[in-house]
Amino acid sequence: VYKIGTATPNDVSGLDRLIQKGEINPNSIVGVIGKTEGNGCVNDFTRGYAVSSLQAYLAPQLKDPSQVHRIVYVMSGGTEGVLSPHLTVFTRTEVEEDTIPTSPSLSIGIHHTRDFLVNEVGTRVMIEEVAKGVKSAMKQAGISSEADVHFVQIKCPLVRAADQEPQGDNRNKMDSYKSMAMSRGASALGVALALEEVTEKQLGNGDDVICQDYRLFSKVASTSAGSELRNCEIMVLGNSPESSSDFVIGHDVMQHALDTSAITRAVQQSGGTTGVVGMNDSGNQLVNILCKAEASPTGQILGCRHTMLDDSDISHTRMARAVVAAVVASIVQDPMVYVSGGAEHQGPPGGGPVAAICRRRR
């Protein structure tokens, strides 16, 4: 796991340096999770710009340039407040069988679903396809127990105004910003279904559940919508007994945007220590925090009114990111963290999953 700051959405210089130095073998890259500095909403093209810049850079570096599309790219827009733009690059290599891992450590599985039709986005169909994909990625990661899955990051599509047929009436039209919530919500429920956090029966045909019944949620799903893709790209992160990685992942669930305890617990679970930059006393080093944020749908936080849902100037997902990123960054004293906005069915209403990745001392 490599964390690399970026100067612009199309900045690949940091990655290039690591590849030139031989630290990263480009052929070992399985996924890139990044924060880019667009608005993180419908008309955010920095995500697509970053992905196409990465692909244009990586393709010629690979043995087989066509393999550039096998990598999972999750660009989450929105670096509000202190949130610092960066990429987290995940690599995977086969090791000799006699390298027996002493304890479970980080393992990654990926999956690309098929493209979705416009009217499939945010529906039961999407839940199903994602659930299948999550299971496939778990298998690839060598994770058999749901309890060993600590974070499932998904990039999912949205529906733009122009994607929908111009018609004399407005029936069945979806607001494009709302389509992001529906897509994130269905994807998250797909994770919940795969991990048996919800049942088929609870979901019904999906219509009364998706972005409706927030009592149903996944404790590890993190989904992010964008116009730069039509399918879902899935990355399962967990600890596997078969992995000999130096990294360990832990997670917890924030009950609300100011739930500092959950963040602290996730860090500790991974072996890290809050407030410590660099190595802690155990020789472990926190690499990144991955988490979700949302403006509490009740309009309140800790019993006090917040104004995010009634703000017509700034989208509430932007403000949610600013808040949770500031809280997380203040705890780990590092603003280069991954916080994504819109936590529909990802943790309880107003809260969200939080994961910590730590490099353990060998």
Which active-site residues does the annotation give?
155, 224
Instruction: Give CA–CA dist 275/268, Å, rounded.
Output: 11
User: Footprint of its own copies on residues 49-68 (CB under 8 A)?
Assistant: 49, 52-53, 56
The nearer residue to its own copies, 44 or 233, going by C-beta atoms, is 44
Instruction: Give CA–CA dist 43/8, Å, rounded.
Output: 17
By CB under 8 A, which span of 99-107, 238-246, 264-272, 317-325 interacts with its own copies?
317-325
Residue 211 beta carbon to its own copies: minimum distance, rounded to whole angstroms: 6
By CB under 8 A, which span of 16-24, 103-111, 188-196, 320-328 interacts with its own copies?
320-328
Q: What angle do CA 76, 309, 78 make, to 5 degrees?
A: 15
Query: In the structure encoding, which two tokens stand for residue 211, read together?
Result: 């972005």
Q: Where do we find the tokens 């130096």?
A: 246
User: Footprint of its own copies on residues 244-263 (CB under 8 A)?
Assistant: 257-258, 260
By CB under 8 A, which span of 101-109, 127-135, 238-246, 293-301 interacts with its own copies?
293-301
User: Footprint of its own copies on residues 215-234 (CB under 8 A)?
Assistant: 215, 227
- Kindly state the number of chain residues that form the binding site for its own copies, as judged by CB under 8 A: 85
Phi then psi for residue 247, to 5 deg, are -100, 150
Site string for its own copies, 112-151 (x = CB under 8 A): ----------------------------------------
The nearer residue to its own copies, 93 or 175, going by C-beta atoms, is 175
Considering only 81, 101, 142, 241, the residue that binds its own copies (CB under 8 A) is 81
The nearer residue to its own copies, 28 or 300, going by C-beta atoms, is 300
Instruction: Give CA–CA dist 235/154, Å, rounded.
Output: 6
The nearer residue to its own copies, 305 or 362, going by C-beta atoms, is 305
CA 162: distance to chain centroid?
27
Considering only 200, 283, 309, 361, the residue that binds its own copies (CB under 8 A) is 309
Considering only 129, 233, 252, 334, the residue that binds its own copies (CB under 8 A) is 334
Q: Is 259 exposed, middle or buried (0-12, 13-18, 19+ CB in 10 A)?
A: buried
> C-alpha distances in angstroms, 41 versus 17, 36, 301?
31, 12, 23
Q: Enter the DSSP assignment of 279.
A: B
By CB under 8 A, which span of 21-29, 63-71, 140-148, 330-338 interacts with its own copies?
330-338
Q: Indicate whether 307 belongs to the interface with its own copies (CB under 8 A).
A: yes
Q: Which DSSP string corresponds to 236-295?
A: EEEEETT---SEEEEEEEESSTT-HHHHHHHHHHTT--TT--SB-TTS-EEEEEEEEE--
Helices (H) and strands (E) in the chain, counts: 7, 14
